Amino acid sequence: MLTRDVRNALFAGLLLVVLAGGGLGWYFLASPAGHTVKGRAPSATGKPAERGKTKTAPSAAKAPPNKQGGSGNNQVTSAVYASGSSVPVAPPGYTKGTVAARNLPPAGGIRGIFLTGYVAGSSRMPGLITQLKAAGMNAVVINVKDDAGNITWQMNLPAAKAAGADSSQITNIGALLKTLKANHIYAIGRIVTFKDPVYAAAHPGQAVQAAGGGLWHDSMGEAWLDPYNRANWRYVVDVAKQAAAVGFQEIQFDYVRFPADGNHAGLVYPDYTSRVVPAEVISSFLRYADRKLAPYGVEVGADVFGLVTVAHNDLGIGQELLPVAGAVNIISPMTYPSLYANGSFGLANPALHPYTVVYKSVHTARLRLTNGPAVDFVPWIQDFSLWGVNYGAAQLQAQVRAVKNAGYNQWMVWNPACVYNIP
């Protein structure tokens, strides 16, 4: 079985051709102890305010204890709120109400690594935590539902159990998250969204179909859930709720897209409707997930193809930069130089130019987001070798410099074997 990196590389060139051819209101409230909470306030009509219309409240530390503080912005009591608790707000033009407190990512930015469930549940964890902290990093992205459709622990979710999705990659999820918290490491739960061979096999009527009947499979022989089907939305978000309930601080949706490779001529979406274009299907799912996860006090993020930073169409997979950014708290393009087709950015072999590829991708995205939705931008960078180009510490540091020079101080590092060239 090929790794995710190789599979993605197989259609990187196709996406570049496509590119060449086509060319709820969130309020941030500061508590006197320096903690930050986040939530949405209803408008005067009772509807959520438009996402991206972000206001910052004055520090509640200036207000007398137990009194409402603020002058013309959000109001918040002078107190520290636990994630998931209710915080009173009354921004001008909105009805007085409460928002769910949300713990934001580390103040200095997310700097993390990816971990499979097997690694996160193994004896490697103490060493990885030590390595992470020594490098000044502060986050881990752990598989919750992996590329094969497996849940990485015995989750208390009947639908997952009935589908045979539960596994024991992580034997004690509570102890793992407690250890991460004790080490001040931000815990992100990765959920592979619509690629799910396990659930597709258990619910074939909700899966992408072949024109001649039966399940459709991508070029790697894997089945996908139909992104149009709302029952699939509920299942994925129910998995996310379970992850939030056990203590993950952020939910990150990966493969939140339509299939990219395989025989599309023989592909059928059972719940297809021409009334909704694919990009709206994806952003609608993310808004739905964000809304359903709000009571849990978690951040919601989405991984997108690296080409999304520069493309002005959905790449044929339903991913567009601004619609996705407008639906989540955090957007993470996979800016792996080895996955850019030869000729990208005028480079004969982009893999040999890690700084240039990452800088141009991230810088372009930053310019496009300047007047766009309010969203945290946390790119994925490459720490794996592919197609005969070796990546080590020098290539990793070049990408980190590129991210910083493009204006961001946060990134996540991907290696499918979870072996990293960080100090």
289 found inside a domain: yes
The reply to whether 66 falls in a domain is no
- The number of distinct structural domains making up the chain is 1
| pLDDT average, residue stretch 222-249 | 98
Query: Does residue 125 sit within a domain?
Result: yes
Beta-bridge partner residues of 333: 304
CA–CA gap between residue 31 and residue 79 (Å, rounded):
6
Q: How far is CA 406 from the centre of its chain?
A: 20
For residue 211, tell me if it sits in a domain.
Answer: yes
Lowest mean pLDDT among 73-77, 107-111, 412-416: 73-77
Q: Is residue 339 part of a domain?
A: yes
Q: Is residue 16 in some structural domain? A: yes
The whole-number pLDDT of residue 334 equals: 98
Query: What pLDDT score was predicted for residue 49?
Result: 39
121-161: pLDDT as tens digits: 999 999 999 999 999 999 999 999 999 999 999 999 999 99
The residues that bridge with 140 in the sheet, in sequence order, are 113, 187
Q: For residues 332 and 161, give the distance between their C-alpha atoms in angstroms, rounded to a whole number.
A: 30
Residue 52 lies in a domain: no
Three-state SS for 189?
A: strand
What CATH number has the domain bearing residue 207?
A: 3.20.20.80
Q: Are strands 76-77 and 68-69 parallel, antiparallel or unpaired?
A: antiparallel
Provide the token pair at 8.
């993605």
pLDDT tens digits along 330-366? 999 999 999 999 999 999 999 999 999 999 999 999 9
268 domain residue, yes or no: yes
Q: Residue 371 sits in which domain range?
A: 4-23+105-414
Nearest-angstrom CA–CA distance, 406 and 304: 18
